Amino acid sequence: MDSQQAAISSSDVNQWQRISPIAIVYFMVKFVYGLLGNVVYLAPAILIGYKEVLANPHIWLPVALAVVLLLVLATFLSFYFFQYRLTNDHIEIRSGVFAKKHINLPFTRIQNVKLEQPIYYRPFGFTCLQLDTAGSAKQEAKVVALKVNFAEQVKKQILAAHKAKPIISDEAELQSEELTPEADNEILLNQRSLKDLIIHGVTNNRTWIFLGALGPFFDDIANYVVLFFNDLGIDIENLLTFADKPWWQIGLYALTLTFICMLVVALFSIAGSIISFYGYTLSKVADRYIRRSGLLTKHEVTMRLARLQMVVRQQDWLDVLLNRINLKFEQSNANMQNIQPGAHNNKIIVPSVKPNECQALIDDVYPHNQMMDISYQGISKHFLIRNIIYILLPVFSILIGFFTMVGKTNVLAFIVPLFFVILLIIFCRWLRWGFAVDDNFIYIRKGIFGVDYYCFPRYKVQQTIFKQSWFLQRKKLATVRFVLASGAQDIPFIPQKIAYNLIDDALYEVESSRKSWM
- Tell me the pLDDT tens digit for each residue of 175-190: 333 333 344 588 999 9
Examine the domain organization and report whether 308 and 455 are in the same domain.
Answer: yes
Examine the domain organization and report whether 398 and 309 are in the same domain.
Answer: no
pLDDT, residue 256, reads 74
Examine the domain organization and report whether 328 and 407 are in the same domain.
Answer: no
Asked if pLDDT for residue 35 goes beyond 70, the answer is yes
Structural domains counted in the chain = 4
Q: At 54, is the pLDDT very low, low, confident or very high (cuts 50, 70, 90)?
A: low
Query: Which has the closest alpha carbon to 451: 389, 392, 378, 342?
Result: 378
Examine the domain organization and report whether 361 and 484 are in the same domain.
Answer: yes
Is there a domain that residue 179 lies in? no
- 164-168, 175-179, 497-501, range with the lowest pLDDT: 175-179
Examine the domain organization and report whether 150 and 38 are in the same domain.
Answer: yes
- Domain with 331, as residue range(s), is 281-379+433-513
pLDDT, residue 169, reads 38
Query: How large a percentage of the chain has pLDDT more than 70?
Result: 75
pLDDT, residue 43, reads 57
pLDDT, residue 250, reads 66
3-state secondary structure of 86: strand
Is there a domain that residue 13 lies in? yes
Examine the domain organization and report whether 15 and 83 are in the same domain.
Answer: yes
Examine the domain organization and report whether 112 and 69 are in the same domain.
Answer: yes
The answer for residues whose C-beta is within 8 angstroms of residue 308's C-beta and 6 or more apart is 329, 330, 331, 365
Overall average pLDDT of the 209-213 stretch:
50
Examine the domain organization and report whether 404 and 453 are in the same domain.
Answer: no
Is there a domain that residue 26 lies in? yes
Is there a domain that residue 191 lies in? no
Query: Which has the closest alpha carbon to 361: 289, 456, 434?
Result: 289
Is there a domain that residue 28 lies in? yes
pLDDT, residue 291, reads 92
Q: At 369, is the pLDDT very low, low, confident or very high (cuts 50, 70, 90)?
A: very high
Overall average pLDDT of the 247-261 stretch:
70
Is there a domain that residue 156 lies in? yes
Is there a domain that residue 181 lies in? no
pTM of the entire predicted model = 0.74
Distance from C-alpha of 201 to C-alpha of 352, rounded to nearest angstrom: 9
The answer for residues whose C-beta is within 8 angstroms of residue 130's C-beta and 6 or more apart is 112, 113, 114, 115, 116, 139, 141, 142
Asked if pLDDT for residue 157 goes beyond 70, the answer is yes
- Report for 8-17, 282-291, 454-463: range of highest mean pLDDT: 454-463
Examine the domain organization and report whether 22 and 101 are in the same domain.
Answer: yes
Among 226, 257, 277, residue at a domain's last position:
277
CA distances from 367 to 283, 344, 443 (A): 17, 26, 15
490, 479 in Cβ contact below 8 A? yes
Examine the domain organization and report whether 269 and 327 are in the same domain.
Answer: no
Residues in the chain: 518
Asked if pLDDT for residue 228 goes beyond 80, the answer is no
Among 242, 262, 277, residue at a domain's last position:
277
Is there a domain that residue 459 lies in? yes
Please name every residue paired with 279 in a beta bridge, in sequence order, or none if there are none.
none
pLDDT, residue 11, reads 45
Among 226, 245, 277, residue at a domain's last position:
277
Examine the domain organization and report whether 254 and 322 are in the same domain.
Answer: no
pLDDT, residue 215, reads 52
Examine the domain organization and report whether 288 and 259 are in the same domain.
Answer: no
